[in-house]
Amino acid sequence: MTNPFPDARTAILGRLRAAADAGPLPSLDTAVMERRQWPPAERVARLRKGMEAVHAEFLDATPKTWPAVVRAFCDREGLKNLLYGPTSEAGAALAKAWAPDGTHLMPYDRPVEAFKKELFTGVDAGFTGTVGGIAETGGLLLLPGSAEPRLMSLVPPIHIALLRASTIQDSFWSAVKALGWGRSLSPNALLISGPSKTADIEQTLAYGVHGPKRLIVVLVDDLN
């Protein structure tokens, strides 16, 4: 059968060769994505607006008050327990300020096989830190590890995440550069924009089917 486009391959290869002869591609540092930059306060506002649009909830705090803000939320919601990482920086600070009455702090200090049933059926909320946020699209960046396993943010019906305003980046590209993910990216890195949601064929949204029903962001104002 005769090829109806006999010169297509030649034309495509010719354009590729011409592009190569034109010189190196512009540096990614000058790409459009790098031009999206905002003052720190606007980063906070953009992130919050984007995440609230997909049902994330925010609690305002300061570097000194955030443990009390977390505790007040737990008491207000009547949570029986809160899963946390006792060896993480955020978890250790939370435990130090926690009062023994009311919501019980449950340490994630065992292999998941040792308390799988309890984790999936008996935990009211999970608390984690974050490594940053993204202003452009709205989202939290988590880097789970042994101190805060990824199940802490994916299994409990409520995920409480601590976000420091100073760690919010302009864009995902900016975050990749700031965190050094261009050189080495953990396979456990998470980008979370809101609570878990899914939709059926009629486009009816349901929350919490595949993860937390609620995402509570404790936003710490540490810009000043």
Q: What is the 3-state secondary structure (H, E, C) of 133-192?
A: EECCCCEEEECCCCCCCCHHHHCCCEEEEEEEHHHEECCHHHHHHHHCCCCCCCCCCEEE
Q: Which residues contact 25 (CB under 8 A, 6 or more apart)?
A: none
**Is residue 23 pLDDT above 50, yes or no?**
yes
Query: In the beta sheet, which residues pair with residue 215?
Result: 159
Question: Domain spans of the chain?
Answer: 26-196+206-220
CB atoms under 10 Å from CB of 87, counted, come to 13
pLDDT digits (tens, 9 = 90+) for 24-74: 545 555 455 566 799 999 999 999 999 999 999 999 999 999 999 999 999
Among 3.40.50.10420, 3.40.250.10, 3.40.50.620, 3.90.76.10, name the CATH number for the domain at 26-196+206-220: 3.40.50.10420
Of all residues in the chain, the percent with pLDDT exceeding 90 is 71
| End-to-end C-alpha distance for the chain, whole angstroms | 73
Assigned token pair, 88? 């993480």
Is residue 14 packed enough to be buried (19+ CB in 10 Å), middle (13-18) or exposed (0-12)?
A: exposed
**Is residue 105 pLDDT above 80, yes or no?**
yes
Mean pLDDT (whole number) for 100-119: 94
Q: Are 135 and 43 in contact (CB under 8 A)?
A: yes
Mean pLDDT (whole number) for 197-205: 76
DSSP-assigned letters across all residues of 199-221: E-TT--EEESSSS-SEEEEEEE-
Tell me which of 3-12, 53-62, 90-99, 212-221 is least confident: 3-12
Evaluated on CA atoms 119, 121, 125, 130, the torsion sign reads positive
Average pLDDT, the chain: 89
3-state helix, strand, coil in the chain (%, to 5): 35, 20, 45
pLDDT at 30: 46
pLDDT digits (tens, 9 = 90+) for 153-163: 999 999 999 99
State how far Cα 83 lies from the chain centre: 18
More confident residue, 122 or 19: 122
pLDDT digits (tens, 9 = 90+) for 111-143: 999 999 999 999 999 999 999 999 999 999 999
Mean pLDDT (whole number) for 73-101: 96
Tell me which of 31-40, 77-86, 151-160, 206-215 is least confident: 31-40
More confident residue, 5 or 130: 130
